[in-house]
Amino acid sequence: MELSQLTEKIKTNINQVIVGKEKTIDLLLVALICEGHVLIEDVPGVGKTMLARALATSLGGLFKRLQCTPDLLPNDITGISVFNQASHDFEFRPGPLFVNILLADEINRATPRTQSALLEAMQEHQVTVDGLTRPLPSPFMVLATQNPVEYEGTFPLPEAQLDRFMLKIDMGYPTHDQEAEILRRLERQHPIETLDAVVRPQDVQQASARVWDIHVDQTVIDYMIRLVNRTRNHPDIILGGSPRATLSLYKTCQAFAALNNRDHVLPDDVKYLAVPVLSHRLMLKSEAELRGRTSDELIIQIIQDTTLDLQNQENKT
């Protein structure tokens, strides 16, 4: 199955549950193909959990929802070894990480110690417990949600954790017509209850392997690097994009081109994905925040100020 056909089947299936969020679903599928992780930041009740459930159901893979609370411990996520009196040996009982899609709901309510338990899993796709390393299923994806307007009882995500999220997306409120359609669909039964799997996890694996074949011209590569580099030297930014951010931008651009049935990346792909890939990785200076500047605005400004270096490319050739 062609990658564009596979993603279209998933997208059509999710659209039975989620109304009017085409861009959000596209970005989610980009992260899925790249086996990346997504941070969904938005107010309660806009469909964050339902979006994760619809994606997991469409894949036919293993899905678990982890409600993050201050009393959640690292072993509650990774799993624990329990002594079996019958066999006189310790047996490992896997935690909720051993799934294809993990929804970490309200992740910023978990303590930093518990949040750090996700770092190895998100980067290495494996978990180490009691000195033994265990691989996670493939594909493996963390969808984490957080509420941007509620701060009491929350713990801000550390920069190391934020850097491991490939994309940050938001749902946004529906329009009048979209909300009317939501009410119509919920009149008798929630559509998530009748949703079926349309692909298999192994189909996603095979499609992901083909993404690396998407061509990225050297001019576009230089453009990506210069965009990220400008976040490191901007007067309003303390912490800019890391090399991991550049790699994430590169991979997501390849996946986005494949979604659109192209064999090459366009500069417009870079511009389209720069905000969701980079915004959550930046740390702004306090004076910039006091002036009302945001990461999204700064990235858009950097995009406007950065042009393709076509002349330099011609000199190289």
**pLDDT (tens digit per residue) in 36-80:** 999 998 877 888 888 888 998 898 888 888 988 889 888 889 988
b (16+ CB within 10 A) / e for 216-247: beeebeebbeebbebbeebebbeebbbeebbe
> What was the pLDDT predicted at 311?
55
DSSP states along 56-110: HHHHT--EEEEE--TT--HHHHHEEEEEETTTTEEEEEE-TTSSSEEEEETGGGS
Cα radius of gyration (the chain): 21
CATH class of 213-311: mainly alpha
Rounded to the nearest integer, the mean pLDDT of the chain is 87
Which of the pair, 300 or 132, is modelled with greater confidence? 300
pLDDT at 317 over 50: no
Four-way CATH pick for 3-209: 1.25.40.10, 3.50.50.60, 3.20.20.70, 3.40.50.300: 3.40.50.300
> What pLDDT does residue 257 have?
94
Q: Where are the domains of the chain?
A: 3-209, 213-311
User: Does 150 score more than 70 pLDDT?
Assistant: no
The answer to whether domain 3-209 and domain 213-311 are alike in fold is: no
Structure tokens at 15: 């659209």
Of residues 67 and 314, more confidence is placed in 67
Using a 10 angstrom Cβ sphere, with 0-12 exposed, 13-18 middle and 19 or more buried, the burial of residue 120 is middle
pLDDT at residue 314 greater than cutoff 50: no
Average pLDDT over residues 10-18: 90
pLDDT exceeds cutoff 80 at 83:
no
